Structure 1
Amino acid sequence: MRDDTQPLKPLGRCPAHASNSVPLHRAQSLTQEGSTAHIDLDGQIYTLRITRAGKLILTK
C-alpha cells in the first residue's frame, strides 16, 4: 500500500452537478493508472478497484 499524504487535485467540477460544486476525480488518477487504490476514511481502509469491464468496485 502506498503511503501518500499528498491530496489529489480535482479535475474540476462535474458538469452534471455544477450547481452543487461537486469535485470531479478520474478513477485512473486515484489508482495511478493501475487498477487498485486504497482510500482512508476516518481510519477505515477501503479498496477501490477498476474491473476489466471498466466498472468500479468499492469494498471495505
Structure 2
Amino acid sequence: MRTIMTATRPSEFSRPATSVLARLPQHDATQLTRGGNQALIVLDEQIYQLRITRAGKLILTK
C-alpha cells in the first residue's frame, strides 16, 4: 500500500511534524552563552563556536 502525501504550500515540504519537534531537546541560546554572545560546543573532541549576532541570528563555526 502506498501513502500519498500532498502539500498546499512549499513550506510544508521541509517542516517536520509537530510530534517530532516535541521529542527533540530544546536549549535556549542565551543560556548556552550565559547571557553573552558566544559559547563553545564540543562534539567528538572537535570544538565549535556558537555566536549570536547583533541581528539575533545564530552562527556555528568550527
TM-score computed with the length of structure 2 as normaliser: 0.67
After the TM superposition, which parts of structure 1 deviate over 3 Å for at least 4 consecutive aligned residues? none
Structure 1: tracts of 5 or more residues without a match? 1-15
Structure 1 residue 59, shift from structure 2 partner = 0.2
Structure 1 residue 48, shift from structure 2 partner = 0.1
Q: Determine which structure has the larger helix proportion and give its number.
A: 2
Matched with 2:39 is 37
Matched with 1:51 is 53
Identity value in percent: 63
Structure 1 residue 34, shift from structure 2 partner = 0.3
Which residue identity does 2:53 align to in structure 1? T
Structure 1 residue 55, shift from structure 2 partner = 0.2
Higher RCO (Cα < 8 Å, 6 or more apart): 1
2:36 is paired with a residue whose SS is coil
Q: Determine which structure has the larger strand proportion and give its number.
A: 1
The CA RMSD over aligned residues, in Å, is 0.7
